[in-house]
Structure 1
Amino acid sequence: MDRQQNDITVKDSGGTGLQGLADLHTHTLASDGMQPPAENVRIAFNKGLSAVAITDHDTVSGVAEALEAGRKYGIAVLPGVEISTRAEGKEIHVLGYYIDIEQELFLSRLAAQRDTRAARNEAILARLRELGIDITLERVIAGLGRDLKPDESIGRPHIADELVRLGAAADMRDAFDKYLADGAAAYVSPPRITPEEACEWIIDAGGAPVLAHPGLYGDDVLVQGIIARSGFRGIEAYHSDHSAADAARYVAMAEESGLLVTGGSDFHGARQGVIFHGDLGSVNVPAAVLEQLREAAGKRR
């Protein structure tokens, strides 16, 4: 294994005693990423990271493979998830770390989330057809080039891929700007659970909930209200779509609220040659944050 030279020392793969850097927000084929979970771990290893989190949308089906790869490469893998919620008309994402990926209640709750996502996808595709675009779910799935597993789900990036293939959009960003982003022509946001409920789910599953990329919501008053009434343990201050000013603002907000500061690239892989949102490891935090998250989740060694 060719690892870049670095000064990182990894004492274990469970999150304690780690030095170096960690990317706490990555996606895989289990949701709308482009790589198998083990590949995310390999990339993290080759980039010299000490740790990486697998945080797929509304599923933990990629975590077990990533944990095995973590043992192979000798780096820590955080079992994670990203849950879609809604508050005051905006879609809000909640990250969960160190959840019990085998808890039946949590798995059933995530299954219900994926059912909601499937209904949303059908509504988006119906709107696109109303706009004169010949697109179907079958064509979107065929574009994956593989069978969709029962606990995986289609996301907007998959639909964006098909829009590019059909010539309806120039690239991923164009597809979102024209059709799929909040307020765009085919945007649909179905009823969802609240951020408060997502925090409760994650805590019930033994995990630590973190507010994902607050800068993307464009409303810090809303963000502060969500934080005040939810059981968050941290804020993702560092993110590929946050400016330096954004990061500083959310670090201050976390400190004022007594919350942890986390960060990650929100890596989804490359589509049409463009990495979405950022390259794995390009946004990171000290790996010592893992121990803080473990303690926030009530897990100590």
Structure 2
Amino acid sequence: MDPMTIKYDASQRFDLHTHSRASDGMNTPAENVKLAQEKGVSGLGVTDHDTVAGVKEAVEEGARRGIAVIPGVEISTRAGGKDIHVLGYFLDAEDPVLLQRLAGLRETREARNGQIIQKLQGLGIPISLEEVIAGLGRQLRPDESLGRPHIADALVRKGYAADMRDAFDRYLAEGKPGYASLPRIAPEEAMLWIREAGGAPVLAHPGLYGDDALVSEILERGRPAGIEVYHSDHGPEEEQRYLALAEHYGLIPTGGSDYHGVRQGVVFHGDLGGRCVTGEIVERLRKAAGK
């Protein structure tokens, strides 16, 4: 099933924000596609952090199962003193310039992870990056990315947090003692990268930034194709607020669960299929990408 050529319509349900173990998800890309089929979801976006390593496997599994897989990415950026994420859809996951740029972002991510480990050690927590990687139970591929959820998982296993949310609330969330952030590209630069790779850029989960004035500035500067209105961490009031922003700026209102899988029996962010949009939204994204 070629995601560039199939017909999208209002009867279909798409979860446009999912993560695999190519970044900080728990499942393989193929397992996420299988789960989408089991949940009656028509298709999903594969949007791993700073990597497209899971796209090929997911697309191939989608073709076998009749599930449409939208090639995507979630790029880490920085603006207004906050970490801002930019989603990209229908991009060329084999574009050599994009792959080189994402490799650079993963190097920054690795340096950031090292700083987090140092801060945790400074708090008296005996933890190492090697220990975090060992917790994966497999070798980390060069085109995969390691994130804070992996570190949080190690903190839980070592007894320094009750669960993933507790690990973030105690140590890893912005403003907490284990948090670290290095200089990153601006959101509008990530949006340009996505366009140059043939994709449609979307501002991810604006409700998580706690600064709607900054959100509006980013939308004005970057002029993305869409904004993620529907997200597992958005309540009804936030959905209405960002839907109004989408209408004001003429943006596509996208949505997804931000599914990362299950850790210690807890689904991180939301369950796959928990936030969906219709195929009409997907068709608008495809057109915005020029496909």
Query: For the superposition of Structure 1 and Structure 2, which TM-score range results when normalised by the shorter chain?
Result: over 0.9
Amino acid at match of 1:272: Q
Which position in structure 2 is the counterpart of 1:31? 23
Q: Does the aligned pair in 2 maintain the 1:96–1:207 contact within 8 Å?
A: yes
Q: Does the aligned pair in 2 maintain the 1:56–1:81 contact within 8 Å?
A: yes
Which position in structure 1 is the counterpart of 2:8? 17
SS at 1:127 equivalent: helix
Q: Does the aligned pair in 1 maintain the 2:108–2:182 contact within 8 Å?
A: yes
Which position in structure 1 is the counterpart of 2:214? 222
- The partner residue of 1:128 within 113, 120, 124 is 120
Per-residue deviation at 1:13? 4.4
- The partner residue of 1:68 within 48, 52, 60 is 60
- Give the count of matched residue pairs: 289
Q: TM-score scaled to structure 2, two decimals? A: 0.98
Amino acid at match of 2:272: L
Rounded to whole Å, the distance in 2 between the matches of 1:250 and 1:258 is 12
Rounded to whole Å, the distance in 1 between the matches of 2:2 and 2:196 is 26
In terms of mean alpha carbon deviation, does 163-172 or 123-132 score higher? 163-172
Rounded to whole Å, the distance in 1 between the matches of 2:153 and 2:207 is 25
Deviations 1:212-236 (A, max 9, x none): 0000000100000110000300000
Deviations 1:154-203 (A, max 9, x none): 10000001001111111101100011000001100110000010000000
Deviations 1:73-123 (A, max 9, x none): 112100000000000100000000011111110000000000000000000
RMSD after superposition? 1.0
Q: How does 1:71-86 map to 2 (within 5 A)?
A: 71-86=63-78
Q: Does the aligned pair in 1 maintain the 2:15–2:256 contact within 8 Å?
A: yes
Per-residue deviation at 1:16? 2.3
Per-residue deviation at 1:17? 3.3
Rounded to whole Å, the distance in 1 between the matches of 2:214 and 2:3 is 37
Runs of 4 or more, structure 1, over 4 Å off, are none
Which position in structure 1 is the counterpart of 2:225? 233
Q: Does the aligned pair in 2 maintain the 1:211–1:236 contact within 8 Å?
A: yes
Rounded to whole Å, the distance in 2 between the matches of 1:12 and 1:232 is 24
- The partner residue of 1:44 within 36, 46, 53 is 36
SS at 1:279 equivalent: coil
Amino acid at match of 1:126: Q
Q: 1:228 to 1:13 in 2, by over 3 A?
A: closer
Q: Does the aligned pair in 1 maintain the 2:74–2:86 contact within 8 Å?
A: yes
Report the identity percentage.
62
